[in-house]
Amino acid sequence: MKLLEDGSTLDGFRIDSCLHSGGMAHIYRVIYADGRADPGFPMAMKVPRMASGDGAENIVSFEVECNILQALSGPHVPRFVAAGDLQRVPYLVMEYVQGRTLQHWVEQHATLDAVTIANLGLGMAQAAHALHRQDAVHLDLKPDNLLLRGTAPVPVPVGADADADASDLAVPASPMVLLDFGLSFHAHFPDLLAEQLRKAVGSPAWIAPEQVVGVRGDLRSDIFAIGVMLYQLCTGHLPFGTPRTPAGVRQRLWVDPVPPRKYRPDLTPWLQEVVMRCLEPEAVNRYPSAAHLAFDLAHPAQIVVSTRGRNTEPTSLWTHTKRWLKAAGMHYQPSPLVSEQISQVPIVMVALPYENASDATLYSLREAAARSLGLRPGARLACVTVIPDSLSNSSIDAQSETSVQRRYLAWLHEWARALNHPGHQTSCHVLESGNVAQALIDYAVGNQVHMIVMGAATHGLKAQRLIATVPLKVAMGAPCTVILVKQGLPFEHLGEVDLASAEGAMPAPELDSRDS
């Protein structure tokens, strides 16, 4: 199809200007020409190229994007406006999102520190998770297809640094927006690309190993692409280069990229740990969901660094050879429903009271958390307590304030140690707030928590009608399931249970004069 002329009209839309002319489509800035009310946001029209020399994938991917974009919602995707008749003039009108694509930061890689890179990755992971929760997988994530709304810089928390002791990171103020869903998969629509093209589709530099062999619908393919972009932000290099042949693309089924710290020795090990886990050849060894990836990027101090994060030398030829032999006979299985993949690996948050908690309550909370984790292999546990601002503000100096935090963190770690659930990641967090319920809700929202386990109020039902207790406030405002645990176990029988390492059923730490 030839370029539309500026000022021409199409189905009530006036062409303002051509924004982009690519290999698969033309994109125009448009406005209403028939008197309809302004939608409140700028609009863009996408028209696929359909010249005689263009491939069939142009129109197929355009049809895929029309179907999927209408089914998506939220701040991480452009808003859908209208679609044209494929039999007459195919077009797609959507919100024109203004801002910078991730390519801007890739080009600035030499000046980016670990905190900035982690915040960019956090934005990518949050956007991908929002998409996955709607049963869709993007499958073509790359710097040109991710955009940060507006022109504000990536936020960096005050006082944060780029070393392994970095504190929790700030949530990006502007959400990352995903663009171009022409190669995407949605579980509620026929997979036209798989049915009609019958070949691997994707951008060679960012495509995941399972996509190479034709598997679509695995959310971990997007995690692999995020890993490629994090690698670019860290080093300025593509981890697998720019392969031009199917054989070159296929090498990622068994080859590890050069560790980022080989290019950049000053890079913090926790960031390399995250990047290399995203780039694992087998999807099962990557993060199980984008929510888990976002959690690590938001809490770098909680990341357990293995040899994967510390290594600076490439993987040996012998290891690659063994992987090549394994990949030669590997058969990837179709992926389950995307939302089911997420539900199988939830982030479980257990909220412990910082004071006046009986041993029976702490024991019952541990039992409830253990049951929640035991039913879901791969789940993650976040142990959280909220201390009042005054507890730290009453400290004599910053050193004693840190001591308060450390005492409560040690208490949480001791409580969690008795769970003894191998295979589950556990992290501990001490929050400071004058509003306990709101702090817990904000934490759950910001960290994509799937389930909150907390103690039930000790007030009677009649009293709770008059007093808005913390558990009641959390249950009313939380974005996820809330399990309220009552201390139903007769405490006199606890001695009969094997609690060899359960000294964690203990009161909150006592603070001495140095802490207050």
What does the pLDDT look like over 160-218, one tens digit per residue? 344 444 556 655 557 899 999 999 999 999 888 877 655 667 788 999 998 988 888 89
Query: How many CB atoms within 10 Å of residue 444?
Result: 24
pLDDT band of 129, cuts 50, 70, 90: very high
Select from 486, 366, 376 the least CA-distant residue to 414.
366
What angle is formed at CA 320 by the lines to CA 106 and CA 268, rounded to 5 degrees? Answer: 40
Structure confidence at residue 79 as a pLDDT band (50, 70, 90): very high
Torsion-angle region of 294 (φ positive above 0: left; ψ -120 to 50: alpha; else: beta): alpha
Does the pLDDT at position 110 exceed 70? yes
Judged against a pLDDT cut of 80, whether residue 371 lies above it is answered with yes
Name the residue among 468, 452, 484 with its Cα closest to residue 383: 452
Tokens of 221: 């393919």
- Sequence ranges of the domains in the chain: 9-95, 100-341, 346-515
Specify whether the CB–CB gap between 54 and 62 falls below 8 A.
Answer: no
In the predicted model, what is the mean pLDDT of residues 489-512? 51
Q: For 9-95, which CATH class?
A: alpha beta
* 61 to 54, 184, 290, 509: CA distances (angstroms): 12, 8, 25, 59
Q: Categorize the per-residue pLDDT at 264 as very low, low, confident or very high, splitting at 50, 70 and 90.
A: very high
Which helix (H) or strand (E) element contains residue 343?
helix 338-343
Type and span of the H or E element at 431: strand 425-432
What pairs with residue 382 in β-bridges?
A: 349, 427
Give the pLDDT confidence of 22-58 residue by residue, as tens digits: 777 889 999 999 888 888 999 999 998 876 655 667 7
**pTM across the whole model:** 0.86
DSSP 35: S
| pLDDT tens-digit map of 392-419 | 555 545 455 578 888 999 999 999 888 8
Q: Which residue reads 């990641």 in tokens?
A: 425
- Give the per-residue pLDDT at 165: 44
Q: Is the pLDDT of residue 487 over 60?
A: yes
Residue type, 516: S
Q: Identify the band that residue 85 occupies on the pLDDT scale cut at 50, 70 and 90.
A: confident
What is the spatial order of strands in the sheet that 451-455 belongs to?
425-432, 380-387, 347-351, 451-455, 481-485
- Give the pLDDT confidence score for residue 512 in this predicted structure: 52
Domain 100-341 bears CATH identifier 1.10.510.10 = yes
Look at the chain and count its residues.
516
Distance, first Cα to last Cα, the chain: 73
User: pLDDT tens, 273-306?
Assistant: 999 999 999 898 999 999 999 999 999 999 999 9
Kindly tell me if the per-residue pLDDT of 420 is higher than 80.
no
Residues 6 or more apart whose CB falls under 8 angstroms from that of 211 comprise: 139, 200, 201, 202, 221
| pLDDT on residue 160 | 39
Looking at domain 346-515, its CATH superfamily turns out to be HUPs (3.40.50.620)
The confidence score (pLDDT) of residue 151 equals 62
- Cα–Cα distance between 489 and 408 in angstroms, integer? 26
Report the pLDDT value the prediction gives residue 493, as an integer from 0 to 100.
Answer: 52
